[in-house]
Amino acid sequence: MTFSSDEHVFDTFEDALEGQFDLGVTDGLPVIPPTPERVRAMLDAAGIAPDAVLGEVPTRDVIVTAEKVACNAVMAGCLPEYFPVVVASVRAVLQPKANAHSTTATLAGAAHAVIVNGPVRHEIGVHGGQAAFGPGFRANATIGRALRLVIRNVFRTVPGVLDRASFSWPLRYSFCFAEDQESTGWTPLHVQLGYDLDDSLVTVQSVMRLFQITEFAPGCEDILTTTYEIARHMGLQRDDWAGDERSVVLVIGPEHSRRLIAEGWTKESVAEWLWPRLNADTIGKYDQKVTLASPANILIVTAGGPGIAQSWWLIPHLAVAASEKVVQG
Amino acid sequence: MSIVTLDPTTGFGSSEAFPLAPRPATLRGQVLGVIANGLGDSEIMFDAISDALCDTDGLAGVTKIVKPSVAVPPLPAQWDEILVSATVAITGFGGCGSCSTRSMRDALDLEAAGIPAVCIVHSALEPAVRAMARLVGADDYPVIVIDYPHNPTAMWTKEEAAELAAQVVDAVRLRLTR
């Protein structure tokens, strides 16, 4: 296996560690030096050649190769067995409708949520339970970080240059979690999207806003009313380019899902109930239409731990949620 | 023992010089293409620039397209419409991170297609569009810059947009002619 990347030579491991800062390739935290041996192990784990093309960044003419992605996965601290998930997340964000130029250069500082479904969650330990949004879980933290380092180093999205985020936010260090498929018995997201239960899938959603939905009332309509009211606080305007495919993600926590399941609600019926209320015309500055083409554009996943009665909205930038099957080597 | 690491970046910039489209001597008889991204109230400014150049410079016409999202290329049909009709062009408004860089790319794509172009941006986004120009080797590609107190995201009054048009129209003429 031969590599095309330029090489940097350091006298010691410590020099290599500090040298990555000097090269301007970190997110501000230390990274694992991407030695050829480590990069090779990543690629081997996914059974993918270094020159394999994972996609192209629109507007920038950047061809993204597996070798560059593997370098950044090493730097992020990924284990080799995580690499197929990293590859799927990069392929997803490079789907044209995921609008990689827009979501990574925007003033709004959009993050990217990597949502993992299927058996790979258990095989590599992507966590979907208590504190699923992190920190604390190596697979979650490093897979999400790998995508962000790829966006920085491969997509050429350096803060102050092509990354124009006015504030940015901590979700852009890393944001990856699994759907907790087992705790509810609801249809998992990847099956809803047409994949087999035994498939593993990565779904990447750009995240411009993250809204907490805390509702302690026991009634399900109270929970769901608070849910849509919070989304309508700022609304979601139609984007002609993203069109009818644009989705929001609703992460339902166990205190809410437990009550909904007890009253016979399913993901599908929750979406059917929410959609007309989200999609109703704007009434005022803080009661705005969330423009979605259908109930299917509310992507519901279950995650989080017991305790507080809480769920979360992941509201996108000018992009469509994109999914890619995880292909293991 | 030394440690070798691989460079994780794709690099930046092009070693090949970017050729600009040849400029006409004047705008008389030219058709102005406008690739607008719909940001804020910037269309008012573009319309006012177009009207002013029609009145004072004898443009033969204006073809304006508004892209379906602020930071994407024109749709293929929109691009064809511009290529078929426009002989000079302006793009913008470069007032947000992704839209400014995309509008710069629109201008550079027009140059590559043989149409003299200029991108109108806000000073807050000038480093971004300069970076976009460097990507294709057009390091010194001129842009027209709007500064504060006008806000970057083109949330302008109609009067302000018209005033901005009056401010930049001479620069537009200068950039599109030789």
Domains of chain B, first to last: 31-176 (3.40.50)
Average pLDDT over residues A72-83: 98
Under DSSP, is residue B149 helix (H, G, I), strand (E, B) or coil? coil
Does B97 contact A164 at a Cβ distance shorter than 8 Å?
yes
Give residue-wise pLDDT tens across range A278-292: 999 999 999 999 999
Does B8 contact A72 at a Cβ distance shorter than 8 Å?
yes
Under DSSP, is residue A73 helix (H, G, I), strand (E, B) or coil? helix
pLDDT in tens, chain B (178 residues): 899 999 999 977 777 889 999 999 999 999 999 999 999 999 999 999 999 999 999 999 999 999 999 999 999 999 999 999 999 999 999 999 999 999 999 999 999 999 999 999 999 999 999 999 999 999 999 999 999 999 999 999 999 999 999 999 999 999 999 9
Identity of the residue in B3, B73, B132 whose CB atom sits nearest the CB atom of A10: B3
Angle at A18 between CA A13 and CA A22, to 5 degrees: 135
Host H or E run for residue A264 = none
Q: Which amino acid is at A319?
A: A
| Whole-prediction pTM | 0.96
> Rounded distance, CA B88 to CA B27, Å?
8
Distance from CA of B10 to the nearest CA of A (A): 5
Give residue-wise pLDDT tens across range A114-136: 999 999 999 999 999 999 999 99
Mutate to test the interface with A, among B9, B37, B135 (most CBs of A within 10 A): B9
Tell me the C-alpha to C-alpha distance, in Å, between residue B81 and each of A278, B22, B66, B74, B95. Answer: 37, 20, 12, 10, 25
DSSP state of A267: H
Does B10 contact A156 at a Cβ distance shorter than 8 Å?
yes
Mutate to test the interface with A, among B3, B4, B5 (most CBs of A within 10 A): B5
Q: ipTM of this predicted complex?
A: 0.95
Does B72 contact A104 at a Cβ distance shorter than 8 Å?
no
Rounded to a whole number of angstroms, the distance between the first and last alpha carbons of chain A is 16
Q: Give yes or no for residue A211 having a pLDDT over 80.
A: yes
Q: Give yes or no for residue A27 having a pLDDT over 90.
A: yes
Residues of chain A positioned with their CB less than 8 A from the CB of B4: 7-10, 35-36
Counting residues of chain A whose pLDDT is more than 90, the rounded percentage is 98
> Rounded distance, CA B118 to CA B171, Å?
9
Identity of the residue in A19, A153, A240 whose CB atom sits nearest the CB atom of B8: A153
Q: Give yes or no for residue A170 having a pLDDT over 80.
A: yes
